[in-house]
Chains A and B, each alone.
Chain A
Amino acid sequence: MNEVAIGWWGVPLAVLAGAIRAGTPFIFVSLGELLTEKSGRINLGLEGTLVMGAMAGYGVSYLSGSPWLGVLVAGLAGMAFGMLHAGLCSLPRVNDIAVGIALMLFGTGLAFFLGKPFVQPQAPILPAVEFGWWSDIPQIRAALRINVLFLIGLGLAPLVLWALRTTRWGLVVRVAGDSADAARAMGYSVDRIRLAATVAGGFLAGIGGSFLSLYYPGSWNEGLSSGQGITAVALVIFARWNPMYCLYASLLFGGAGALGPALQSVGVTEGYYLFNAAPYILTLLILILTSSSRRRFAGAPSELSITR
């Protein structure tokens, strides 16, 4: 395919493609974080879970030849980390924020350790669906070559919204997040609810990680994650704990992350690193604009330590 000169039109197109491509891991990690936070606990360790998922998914895909098995194992590895987080946090006097920081370090370290043999080989990666067949312009075709996990993520956000709003299970999670006492009074074990929510959240974050290694960028190395797990925590706050807003915010963050490389490709090389920091700057601005020292966040689970 020959590149057609489309000049500056390449920038919005690349941002669109980036929103879809780089936004997908954000969708999964932020929905996972949202589930955990809805139950009243924050998991800062999803960064470690993400990297671990990326490594496990890639390794299994390489060894078994099936990328989908890799995605599944990435999710299972995420569940194991979720279980570790929830188990530690259920001990009295153990702080969930600190455990998250520790798991961030441990998950990244373990993934780098176990992933050493997978840095070189090329594993089979996930398939994509061509939505750009109608166009003759290769850039548009490339932008509309959409991965299957993105489509799953598109369906997952409304599903989580529905589950939290209308199912009994969703109600129990929200009660645990808004008032642990009320959940106890209803006869539920708060620790067990939070364990389930954190494990489910870890599963999603692990899958988000496998997207990085099995689709885009599509290889395993130690610089794979650019802090998506951390950004997801702020993204959930920005999204006001609403799964649909999580989806939109993920696309926004994906697009923001694609801005730097896109501008570089049309010759704007000034400030490359600063554009790379765009997601962090955006996150910080959003946090500053949406927070207030006088009132609580609208929509925040009352039991959450970071908004108290």
Chain B
Amino acid sequence: MALGSDALRRSAEAVAIPLLALVASMAVFGIFVALVGRDPLEVYGLMYRAAFGTWFSWQNTLTRAAPLVLTALCTALPAQMGMVIIGGEGALVIGGLASIAAGLAIKATGAPPFVVHAAMMLAAMGAGGLLIACSGWLRQARGVNETISSLLIGYIALAVMNQMVEGPMRDPTSLNKPSTAALGDSYMLGTIPGMDVQWGLAFGIVLCVLAYILVFHTTFGFGARIAGGNARAALLAGLPVGRMVLIMTFLAGGCAGLAGMAEVAAVQGRANASLAAGYGFTGILVAFLARQNPIAILPVAVLLGGIGASSGMLQRRLGLPDATVMVLQGIIFISILASETLFGRFKLFQPREAER
């Protein structure tokens, strides 16, 4: 019995402290907003209505949450092994590029849409996966820090995408905004039946559940968490840490790559510079706020998607700059990291084994 209630206390701590950090950051942002001469309550009220006020705004929020779920997995999966990967933006972009390349090639053979979509998914996950697996491999083989290498590789991926979109893969008719050829309306992935939300959200939910099972209910996930706690002990226990790092980084990049595929096949219809909309970077924040837990990513991504969705309304109604949302995200990120220090400080959440 004691074990059960102790586990409950742990989970309560893991929910309560991030919530506390969220409330604190809302207070700090409120002060910031007041300092620039706006009414904080009005700002929050407007944000709530813009993000969650109507079914229409809910759909907008969920559409934005979809890529965040997938890019957050790109950070959260390697985090189980103690790695900080921040290349999600690059993996999303390269996934989008690979998916449109594969999509256009398969479409040319006259294959039905679902074959085209399957090929796009495979190409996107493969490309994104290989990109992030590079960071994993560099860490294992050469001892290169994975945080820096994943960020650099991400920037290089962005340059490759720009190069391809403006060069070899450019559709000559796209004048103002260089883009690849369009996938075509009949080959678009469309929206989830019954709502105006892109399919990426469904992919994200499925992958979060799969990731949760992988991390917490398989031998592989157990081994990965051991290796994250103490790599040397894991090696001594005979775990193939090198291979696990490669698999984990590949899966992580595959998730972000799939986000790129969903953006191309369900939203944009083609690949261009708007793929790099910052979802990869906000995804890092989502992963940290969810404490790297794949299931917790879902509500956190909806929250951050909502904050992103409210940006337009804040600009139109209150004349606040578009960077307002970035400031709020930054404050949330800082306070969530600072709250890390509170773990284990509250007696309420501590195991009561001594009293047994």
Q: Which residues of A contact B (CB under 8 A)?
A: 44, 84, 88, 91-95, 97-99, 101-103, 105-113, 116, 222, 227, 230, 233-234, 270-274, 276-277, 280-281, 283-284, 287-288, 291-294, 306-307
B323 contacts the other chain (Cβ, under 8 Å)? yes
How many angstroms from the CA of A84 to the CA of B338 in the assembled complex? 11
Which A residues are CB-close (under 8 A) to B84? 95, 97-98, 101
Q: Which residues of A contact B86 (CB under 8 A)?
A: 101
**Complex interface: chain A residues within 8 A of B322 (CB):** 112
Q: Which of A99, A227, A277, A306 is B334 in contact with, Cβ under 8 Å?
A: A99
Specify which chain B residues have a CB less than 8 angstroms from the CB of A283 in the assembled complex. Answer: 152
In-complex Cβ contact of A98 among B153, B288, B321, B323 (8 A): B288
Q: Which residues of B contact A95 (CB under 8 A)?
A: 84, 337, 340
Contacts of A280 in B (CB 8 A): 152, 155-156, 159
**Additional A-B contacts beyond A277-B159, A293-B143 (20; CB < 8 A):** A44-B147, A93-B341, A98-B337, A101-B86, A102-B334, A103-B330, A105-B285, A105-B326, A106-B329, A109-B323, A112-B326, A222-B323, A230-B148, A271-B167, A273-B163, A280-B155, A287-B148, A287-B152, A291-B144, A292-B142
B290 CB → nearest A CB, Å: 14
B-side contacts of A88, CB under 8 Å: 334, 337-338
Is A106 touching B334 in the complex (CB atoms < 8 A)?
Answer: yes
Hey, which bits of chain B sit against chain A, CB under 8 A? 84, 86, 138, 140-145, 147-149, 151-153, 155-156, 158-160, 162-163, 166-167, 281, 284-285, 288, 321-327, 329-331, 333-334, 337-338, 340-341, 343
Of A110, A233, A273, the residue contacting B330 (CB under 8 A) is: A110
Say whether, besides A98-B337, A109-B329, A230-B151, A284 and B156 are in contact (CB < 8 Å): yes
**Are A106 and B331 closer than 8 Å at their CB atoms?**
yes
Smallest distance from the beta carbon of B7 to chain A beta carbons, Å? 21
Tell me which residues across on chain A come within 8 A of B142, comparing CB atoms.
Answer: 287-288, 291-293
Most B C-beta atoms less than 10 A away, residue of A84, A113, A274? A113
**A residues near B284, Cβ cutoff 8 Å:** 101
- In this complex, what residue of A is CB-closest to B329? A105
B321 near A306 (CB under 8 angstroms)?
no
Q: Could you list some 9 contacts between A and B, CB below 8 A?
A: A103-B334, A105-B285, A109-B329, A113-B321, A230-B148, A272-B166, A281-B156, A288-B142, A293-B141
Contact (Cβ within 8 A) A94 B338: yes
A274 contacts B326, C-beta separation under 8 Å? no
When A106-B327, A293-B142 are in contact, do A273 and B337 touch as well, CB less than 8 Å?
A: no
Q: Is the CB of A102 within 8 A of B330?
A: yes
Contacts of A227 in B (CB 8 A): 155
A110: which B residues are within 8 A, CB to CB? 323, 326-327, 330
A residues in contact with B281, CB < 8 Å: 105
Most chain A CB atoms below 10 A, which of B145, B321, B327? B145
Bound form: Cα–Cα A91–B153 in Å: 31
Q: Which residues of B sit under 8 angstroms from A271, Cβ to Cβ? A: 163, 167
Which of B148, B330, B340 sits near A94, CB closer than 8 Å? B340
Tell me the dominant secondary structure on chain A's binding face. helix
CB closest residue in chain A, given B334: A102
In the complex, which residues of chain A have a beta carbon less than 8 angstroms from the beta carbon of B160? Answer: 273-274, 277
A287 lies within 8 A of B149 (CB) = yes
Do the beta carbons of A105 and B330 come within 8 Å of each other?
yes
Instruction: Give A283 to B138 CA distance when docked, in angstroms.
Output: 14
CB <8 Å contact, A306 and B148: yes
Query: Known: A102-B330, A287-B148. Contact between A113 and B324, CB under 8 A?
Result: yes
Please measure, in the bound complex, the distance between the C-alpha atom of A230 and the C-alpha atom of B138, giving whole angstroms.
18
Cβ of B84 to closest chain A Cβ, rounded Å: 6
Residues of A within 8 A of B285 (CB): 102, 105
| Complex Cα gap A287–B152 (Å) | 11
Residues of A within 8 A of B323 (CB): 109-113, 116, 222
Q: Chain B contacts of A112 at CB under 8 A?
A: 321-323, 326
> When chains A and B are docked, how far (Å) is the Cα of A111 from the Cα of B148?
23
With A and B bound together, what is the CA distance between A292 and B143 in angstroms?
5
CA distance A294 to B143 in the complex (A): 8
Residue of B nearest to A113 (CB): B323
Closest to B75 in A: A101
Most buried by B among A44, A280, A288: A280
In angstroms, Cα B178 to Cα A272, docked, is 14
**Chain B residues near A288 (CB-CB < 8 A):** 138, 142, 144
What residues of A have a CB within 8 angstroms of the CB of B330 in the complex? 102-103, 105-110
Minimum C-beta distance from B132 to chain A (A)? 14
Q: Which residues of B contact A97 (CB under 8 A)?
A: 84, 147
A103 CA to B323 CA, complexed, in Å: 15
Q: How far is the CA of A102 from the CA of B84 in the complex (A)?
A: 13
